[in-house]
Amino acid sequence: MSRRLSRRTLLTGAGAASFATLAAGAAATVARKGAMPASERKPLLFPDGFRWGTATSAYQVEGASDVDGRGPSIWDVFAAEPGRIRDGSTGHTSVDHYHRYREDVALMKALGAGTYRFSIAWPRIFPDGTGIANPKGLDFYDRLVDALLAARIEPFATLYHWDLPQPLQARGGWETRDTAEAFGAYAAEIMRRLGDRVRQVFTINEMQTFVEQGYQTGNFAPGLKLSRGRLNQVRHHAVLAHGLAVQAVRANGRNETRVGPAENIATALPAIETEENIRAAETATRELNAPYLTVMMEGRYTDGYLAREGADAPRFTDQDLRIISSKVDMVGLNVYTPAQYVLASEAAPGYVEVPLQASHPHMASTWLTLGPEALYWAPRHAARLWGNKEIYITENGASADDVPAPDGSIYDLDRVMYLRNCLMHLRRATAEKVPVRGYFLWSLLDNFEWADGYATRFGLVHVDYATLKRTPKLSASFYREVIARNGLA
Ligand code: FCB
């Protein structure tokens, strides 16, 4: 079959039809031989009430970067610097979600999604970072939230997805404690204005990424390469800001409002699933997340982290640790790829990393190493290490080439393959009662993929960047089926 049907034939409508005929023929042959009647296929279902949605972030989709009083963010400044973004682009217009949000809500509705995770642009609310809130900025999120609720889609708002107001950066940014305090005040303002309708709040998206990429490698805004001591202080201010925001949401939201982080937990996987290796993977995961999730969940920096950093360790007080570990209601985990594979070791720290072969497969983005088992291990580790009782996968998805076929459709089978495998492993977790309550697929739309610009696509919906026309891909049909069945067929 594969030899007779070229890739091109498969991609055309006619090819698809003949493929379906061939597949039906093959199924009939199997049924005749009695090998496995179709009725024995067991769907892989998720628990009742499992929440399905998509995710985006403000700077990546909104565009409209200079309208209605929005101030500049560090990403506007960074992207405007030559050589920072692979294709020389910026988020100035992006996919213009700011003006097309109604169409985008309709796309979510067509998927059957019941939730949507978006982020609020701090510079729209406080163009100067602090001070008087900008009513027009707040109005936009009012309109968006109302449109979502009218479509029976529950809003999950992320307060910070990396777009720090530039005036705060000019005053020291995350290197200063003032930025963490300002974040708390901003969180309070959001809850005062939207808290009657937004009951699910994530504080900060992927501290690990924005801190390491923005302040260590310099690949992301604000493009700094700090010394270890200064870097550790940035990390500390980020977790402190999370804790202050948790407290602000509690003080200004409703009683039933749920709040937590959305962190890209660095996940260690057992290279071979033995009890020893699983324990080693848990130990490694706790250590890999020491300055982020671990301190948020445990209220202390691990001995290993403090010893490794020595004189460069962050300066902090006991009171800071109490704020950082303010009780959360839910934990969001962004999971794309394993951080490392490990084997147990008798020598400290109890595990060794197994290096990847150069031949290890990855998706279109080279960082997106294939390891769908991470969707099982990440929530399982979190539940076992920290007793988390309400876990969301706040991001998972894949980049693909997404070249339109001659019939105009985008047959992103590689993304479908990736998603199906990730969901199978996530389903393994829910079947074992790991308390995962929902899943947000990154992303609804193709969008500005940070330093990759528009060259890397992650959407279920293709965007033609010249016309901003939206076209759902094959993966959108796949996800619609998943949502409709609450699992994999
Ligand atoms: C995550 C980010 C998100 C997007 C995806 C592909 O690290 O949170 O904004 O860039 O990766």
Query: Is 205 a pocket residue for ligand 1 (Cβ < 6 Å)?
Result: yes
* Nearest residue (CA) to ligand 1, atom 10: 449
Ligand 1 atom having least distance to the Cα of 264: 7
Ligand 1 atom having least distance to the Cα of 205: 8
> How far is the centre of ligand 1, averaged over its atoms, from the C-alpha of 357 (Å)?
25
Catalytic site includes residue 206: yes
Query: Is 446 a pocket residue for ligand 1 (Cβ < 6 Å)?
Result: no
Whether the CA torsion 364, 121, 203, 463 is positive or negative: it is: negative
Residues of the chain with pLDDT under 70: 1-39
Query: Is 208 a pocket residue for ligand 1 (Cβ < 6 Å)?
Result: no
Ligand 1 atom having least distance to the Cα of 365: 6
Query: Is 456 a pocket residue for ligand 1 (Cβ < 6 Å)?
Result: no
Matching residue, tokens 């042959």: 29
> How far is the centre of ligand 1, averaged over its atoms, from the C-alpha of 340 (Å)?
19
Query: Is 450 a pocket residue for ligand 1 (Cβ < 6 Å)?
Result: yes
**What pLDDT is attached to residue 6?**
34
> How far is the centre of ligand 1, averaged over its atoms, from the C-alpha of 448 (Å)?
10
- Count CB atoms within 10 A of the CB of residue 197: 16
Kindly name the residue from 206, 212, 309, 373 that is annotated as catalytic: 206
**What pLDDT is attached to residue 152?**
98
Note whether 198 and 145 are within 8 A (CB). yes
Query: Is 458 a pocket residue for ligand 1 (Cβ < 6 Å)?
Result: yes
Query: Is 163 a pocket residue for ligand 1 (Cβ < 6 Å)?
Result: no
Among 450, 454, 458, say which to mutate for ligand 1: greatest number of ligand atoms within 8 Å of CB: 450
Query: Is 233 a pocket residue for ligand 1 (Cβ < 6 Å)?
Result: no
**What pLDDT is attached to residue 31?**
47
* Residue whose C-alpha is closest to residue 161's, from 457, 450, 452: 450
Among 334, 337, 369, 419, say which to mutate for ligand 1: greatest number of ligand atoms within 8 Å of CB: 334
Whether the CA torsion 27, 33, 35, 37 is positive or negative: it is: positive
Ligand 1 atom having least distance to the Cα of 336: 11
Ligand 1 atom having least distance to the Cα of 60: 9
Catalytic site includes residue 373: no
Kindly name the residue from 154, 263, 395, 449 that is annotated as catalytic: 395
